Structure 1
């Protein structure tokens, strides 16, 4: 029984019929037919669309708290669930390619997605709980969660496309550390100094150039954009 058949038998979601195909057996053949599948890893960045949408919604909700209600129905979907529900005509091939992913790559990818799911679901739950309790949620708190989700997305994207699409692991760790530090400290900052004046551009420049800035240099924007090409 194929991975697709196992999924369709166990899932509570309706599975659309896969498109007719001759059944390419190799990862290279699938990647040649479905251009969103990486021929080396067998994975597709399209899977991350659900998390990119969450990150964008969080950024919008930071400026419009009413949009937090849109998060109530958000929940991560598995690789199979995401593509089965996508309406993509070759979704079954994409799932088959995932099954052909080299085991060591798939294990690392699955672990990264578990982290991403944990970050996203725990963060969304915290925001919704605070909102339902009538707490004042500062925009910095919501932006911080969006940044943490985006850091996890970038890590997962590197695994999908091959680690060489990212900078060093230290740079990835820096993305996580900065987002986590901002997330843990932003709520306290929002409550303690709600009327604080924004830092001046001159002060921001000084902070950027301060000790340690060179040590945790992040990916340049071109490298990040390349992950989603």
Structure 2
């Protein structure tokens, strides 16, 4: 680690400063990022009653954590990005894995919307399928941001650690 690398809880990333900016001082992550996914989930939920929301769903695109903050109206965007870089790697890795899953679900829903000839009759199925998958993933991502890894993440870490140990003795 470089000596000039920001460290959570120290200097510009002091806990009180992070809390004031609505960034978790322990993880260095901000729930504001999840707004990007909550927005498309709400649009998908509205799709059956308002098929015209399809255009907004199709306009949605994946965006990574840093780009979200750099292009958002978040008041402490530089602090959010710096804290993200100082966040524990395992938390960032788990967050990015959940984000990749959410992105895949939304991209599949977009493909289904584009492929359907009768959106009115398909909207309920597309919306229900997508949102039933997205909601738990957003919840898991929120857990990571708050420093809580779910059982599936902990199991995955255990399997990775065991694989590393096995490789050393092979």
Corresponding residue for residue 184 of structure 1: none
Corresponding residue for residue 146 of structure 2: 161
Corresponding residue for residue 145 of structure 1: 130
User: Which structure is richer in relative contact order (CA contacts within 8 A, separation 6 or more)?
Assistant: 2
2:15 matches 1:28: yes
Shift, 1:138, TM fit: 4.4
Distance, in Å, in 2 between the alignment partners of 1:33 and 1:65 is 40
Distance, in Å, in 1 between the alignment partners of 2:118 and 2:32 is 36
Q: Is the 8 A contact 1:27 1:97 kept in 2?
A: no
Q: Is the 8 A contact 1:30 1:97 kept in 2?
A: no
Cα 1:73–1:138 shift into 2, 3 Å: closer
Question: Which of the residues 84, 93, 118 maps onto 1:107?
Answer: 93
Query: Any idea what the Cα deviations from partners look like across 1:17-37, whole Å, max 9, x if unmatched?
Result: xxxxxx944353541442x11
Question: Which of the residues 118, 122, 126 maps onto 2:108?
Answer: 122
Corresponding residue for residue 54 of structure 2: 68
Counting matched residue pairs gives 144
- Structure that is richer in helix per residue: 2
Q: RMSD across aligned C-alpha pairs, in angstroms?
A: 2.5
Distance, in Å, in 1 between the alignment partners of 2:83 and 2:17 is 7
Cα 1:24–1:142 shift into 2, 3 Å: same
Larger radius of gyration: 1
Shift, 1:42, TM fit: 0.6
